[in-house]
């Protein structure tokens, strides 16, 4: 009788406007029982996105385990041998993930609980002790920072390669005249070298912002737990050093509150790189139009029409413009998500992970495609020469009058009143006269090359440092 009564205690359906609906099924997870639809809603796409964080999560857990074995408490949370056992087991998981034998389920919710489940299945109670003195809050924070560091190392390297591709294009055509434009109208004598090298320098500015975002990411949040620390003598400097961070956060609440802010900072830097590339892409689209004809895009980087046999469309460059808008909008989205979030941890920040990962992936894919495209562009010298109308030389003529003693404003008005008397001059001679630093005939290619090499060397050095830290950390399990 009691059994029957218990069965009827839980309704089979709930009343909703217009009728009833079945009671949602529940799912048992590591952190409690939750309705399936609520689990799906709150977990979102973490099970898929967190595949990219498996390596970082295992590294963070290895550093945490080693630190727990070193702190002076009695009894020990972990012995030295237990920490080694955990590290050895953690070292297996990234390989299992690549082999398809380790995965993250919806019941896991995220990579952190999936790794804990895997450790517990292999090591029993020892696996259950790995989460001592930490929260998923500081776990995901350290995972994302390790992930961001590696991604930005690659982003800077790829941005340096794209900048070098613009530099090489500029150097090949350094003396080739090209009408400089303002408001898209012919303005003054310029060169292909000046045009192309401007985008190289623009990318270097974007790289500087990416490096700044990297510096902000290069701090360890482990030990902040749920944002307020724990009543144990954690050695936060040790975990920071083991993971290869520059330093730990000083304030544990701030460490937690940088979730979302870091994503916004990184996406802003990526957006600036994409902004430079988008404007360069727009120029390439315009200058490859038949009406200009300055450049011919490589066939492999254009696409055809399904109805017009003659068409070769600059789809790559058009998509680049759209992808730039996407990355910049992702930055704004993350900032807006965080705008009204109160202090401490809030689940809102979960929605900043996917924009971060997407922004990095889109930016890196774009940077990788540029060198091949630029290497294949053909330049039409005659089309460039046709862009030099008499008016392009108006300022040069005014400055000649200044050299003869005429005040500039008087020379300006004289030339303006006699524009119909101007004639086309030698574009090559006009370009050759502009020799000051940064002008068409004064481009410092050595300096530009040096800056590009410095950025590439920085990326290589930081990657080597990250690899050394990971190698030393895994070696603790031997």
The token duo for 128 is 């259950």
> Within its chain, how far is the Cα of 462 from the centroid?
16
* Selection from 272, 259, 132 nearest residue 202 by Cα: 272
Catalytic residues: 183, 305
Measure the CA–CA gap between 391 and 198, rounded to whole angstroms: 24
Measure the CA–CA gap between 389 and 144, rounded to whole angstroms: 55
* Selection from 199, 194, 137 nearest residue 166 by Cα: 199
Q: Which residues of 3-23 are buried (b: 16+ CB within 10 A; e: fewer)?
A: eeeeeeeeeeeeeeeeeeeee
Cis peptide before 75 (omega within 30 of 0): yes
Measure the CA–CA gap between 299 and 313, rounded to whole angstroms: 9
Measure the CA–CA gap between 323 and 363, rounded to whole angstroms: 8
CA atoms within 13 A on the CB side of 450: 4
Measure the CA–CA gap between 204 and 166, rounded to whole angstroms: 11
* Selection from 71, 117, 118 nearest residue 93 by Cα: 118
Residues 232 and 325: beta-carbon distance below 8 Å: no
Residues 110 and 136: beta-carbon distance below 8 Å: yes
């Amino acid at each position: 009788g009691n059994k029957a009564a218990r069965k009827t205690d839980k309704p089979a359906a709930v009343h909703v406007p217009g009728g009833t609906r079945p009671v949602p099924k529940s799912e048992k997870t590591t952190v409690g029982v939750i309705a399936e639809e609520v689990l799906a809603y709150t977990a979102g796409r973490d099970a898929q996105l967190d595949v990219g964080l498996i390596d970082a999560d295992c590294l963070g857990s290895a550093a945490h385990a080693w630190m727990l074995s070193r702190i002076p408490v009695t009894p020990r949370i972990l012995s030295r041998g237990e920490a080694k056992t955990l590290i050895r087991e953690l070292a297996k998981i990234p390989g299992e993930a690549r082999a398809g034998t380790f995965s993250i389920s919806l019941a896991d919710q995220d990579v952190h609980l999936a790794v804990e489940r895997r450790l517990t299945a292999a090591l029993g109670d020892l696996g259950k002790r790995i989460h001592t003195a930490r929260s998923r809050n500081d776990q995901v924070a350290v995972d994302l920072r390790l992930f961001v560091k590696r991604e930005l190392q690659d982003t800077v390297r790829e941005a340096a390669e794209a900048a070098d591709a613009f530099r090489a294009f500029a150097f090949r055509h350094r003396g080739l005249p090209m009408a400089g434009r303002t408001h898209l109208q012919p303005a003054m004598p310029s060169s292909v070298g000046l045009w192309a090298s401007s985008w190289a320098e623009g990318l270097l500015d974007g790289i500087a912002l990416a490096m700044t975002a990297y510096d902000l990411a290069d701090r360890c949040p482990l030990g902040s737990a749920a944002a307020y620390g724990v009543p144990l003598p954690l050695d936060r400097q040790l975990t920071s050093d083991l993971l290869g961070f520059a330093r730990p956060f000083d304030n544990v609440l701030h460490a937690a509150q940088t979730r979302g802010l870091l994503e916004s900072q990184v996406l802003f830097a990526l957006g600036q790189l994409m902004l430079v590339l988008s404007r360069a892409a727009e120029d390439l689209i315009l200058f490859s139009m038949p009406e200009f004809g300055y450049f011919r895009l490589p066939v492999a980087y254009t696409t055809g029409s399904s109805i017009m046999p003659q068409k070769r469309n600059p789809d790559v460059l058009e998509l680049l413009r759209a992808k730039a808008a996407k990355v910049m909008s992702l930055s704004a989205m993350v900032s807006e998500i965080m705008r009204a979030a109160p202090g401490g941890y809030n689940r809102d920040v979960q929605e900043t992970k996917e924009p971060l990962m997407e922004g990095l992936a889109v930016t890196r894919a774009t940077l990788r495609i540029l060198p091949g495209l630029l290497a294949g562009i053909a330049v039409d010298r005659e089309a460039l020469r046709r862009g030099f109308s008499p008016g392009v030389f108006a300022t040069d003529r005014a400055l000649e009058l200044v050299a003869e003693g005429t005040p500039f404003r008087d020379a300006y008005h004289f030339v303006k009143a006699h524009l119909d008397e101007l004639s086309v001059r030698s574009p090559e001679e006009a370009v050759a006269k502009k020799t000051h630093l940064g002008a068409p005939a004064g481009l410092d290619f050595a300096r530009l090359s040096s800056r590009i090499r410095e950025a590439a060397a920085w990326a290589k050095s930081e990657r080597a440092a990250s690899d050394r830290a990971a190698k030393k950390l895994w070696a603790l399990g031997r």
